[in-house]
Structure 1
């Protein structure tokens, strides 16, 4: 009899916990992939999506990045209505793009425009990994190129935040052409003494890392961001060697001279502001 009573207690005790999980609204809590700690999503967002326990930098979408970086009410977006087509008639491509439009409330994987950072005017391009993994298709390349041209025309610095899985395979060679197009635009801008600042966020890979992401006068990254061209496994199979554990992280690249600095998200706005101040008041082009 006593055994049966205890069994019933154990049985019933498990029921409320299952119901409690179901009652928690989706998205109210976030589990950190770094330290596995569970925290309120609202608190995480308030802390610029940096884990309050271990400092892990969670991915930010383009809107969150703009809010954290650009002075309030100063941002003007470029080419907002530009949307992708399906030049190769790739099966299911437009359906996937439309799904991401609804999910992110953005038309493409990059947001471009101009605004001020602590009063310093600048043109920005911010890639969004939540839209098709930030992949670079024709529209992404065109929007970035147009933003560079606007910076050139207005004599403003150009800042780009990269986050991408690489070229968009559904657009074939047209997506690969964006590497050359954006790089050429940056070269012309640089020839006119334009200031280019690149901030690589997690992940910056493939054709994006091999083109405009690495062409800044200043090349920065956020802590522990994955940055590279080919995947780790492919490289290990090709060279038949085991790579270091921190290979393709921002810290590894900094150690080997491929980055100028790894900057914590809380320090980024002031760092960019200081650089813009120096160039604005220095010997070079003023804006």
Structure 2
């Protein structure tokens, strides 16, 4: 009897009345990937896509990142019109590129340019994982190399935010060549006395992690970011050992001396502004 009664209650409770139905517009809410709590999307955006409950850092797109850091109306984009071709005639590649252009409003997986951060002129490259998973093709490498060269010519610091699945397979060796191209540009920039700050966000993997992402004078990361070259499964199969649970996280890399600091997104602009002030000619952190 009691069992039947409880079952009936659950059954009736699961059927909403007509008065209780509320139409929620699609896209107005966002669920946290970590704690699964639901928030208004605008609330998350105001919090820089950091979960108000657990602090999990969700991805920012390129322009959200730029707006969160640069002084209003100071950012000027470089090489906006550069578009990837299909050098290897890879099947369906051009269609996928066009689909990502429409989805993201970007021509490629990186936005470059310069602007002011608290009044400090700064060059920037910020990768956007929405475009081909942030993969590095020939145009991505070229835009980053040009941005570094522009920073050298302008004698201003260079900041890069990485978010990438690695080299873009549809471009084969042309994609892998971008590792050396960007590394040489960074070497020239460093030899000229330039300051480079790298901030690795989730995820930074493959050829990107093995090249320009790790070559900053300061190498930072956001909390919980996945950073590494090969995947966990491949490494475990190769070494025949079980890896630690936090392996390839920003916190793991910091503990093992591969990062200078893990910085919460809310503190990032303040840290960057302080470093830019310290490194400017005659700069003083006070």
TM-score scaled by length of structure 2: 0.93
Pair 1:16–1:177, CA change in 2 (3 A)? farther
- Cα deviations by residue, 1:58-92 (Å, 9 ceiling, x for unpaired): 00000100010111100000000111100111111
RMSD: 2.0
- Unaligned residue ranges in structure 1 (runs of 5+): none
Pair 1:20–1:108, CA change in 2 (3 A)? farther
Q: Provide the secondary structure at the position in 2 that maps to 1:27.
A: coil
CA distance in 2, matches of 1:42, 1:20: 23
CA distance in 1, matches of 2:226, 2:170: 23
1:40 matched to 2:56: no
Q: Output aligned runs, 1:10-89, within 5 Å.
A: 10=11, 14=15, 20=21, 23-89=23-89
Q: Moved runs in structure 1, 4+ residues, more than 3 A? A: 9-13
Superposition deviation, residue 142 in structure 1 = 0.4
CA distance in 1, matches of 2:223, 2:119: 26
CA distance in 1, matches of 2:80, 2:224: 31
Q: Output aligned runs, 1:231-250, within 5 Å.
A: 231-250=231-250
CA distance in 1, matches of 2:197, 2:14: 57
Superposition deviation, residue 34 in structure 1 = 1.0
CA distance in 2, matches of 1:20, 1:152: 60
1:165 matched to 2:165: yes
- Cα deviations by residue, 1:13-72 (Å, 9 ceiling, x for unpaired): 52659x958x32221111101111111110000001100000000000001000101111
Pair 1:16–1:236, CA change in 2 (3 A)? farther
Q: Which residue does 1:147 correspond to in 2?
A: 147
Q: Output aligned runs, 1:265-284, within 5 Å.
A: 265-282=265-282
- Cα deviations by residue, 1:204-239 (Å, 9 ceiling, x for unpaired): 000000000000000000001000000000000000
CA distance in 2, matches of 1:16, 1:96: 44
- Unaligned residue ranges in structure 2 (runs of 5+): none
Superposition deviation, residue 258 in structure 1 = 0.2
CA distance in 1, matches of 2:24, 2:170: 38
Pair 1:164–1:15, CA change in 2 (3 A)? same
Superposition deviation, residue 12 in structure 1 = 9.4
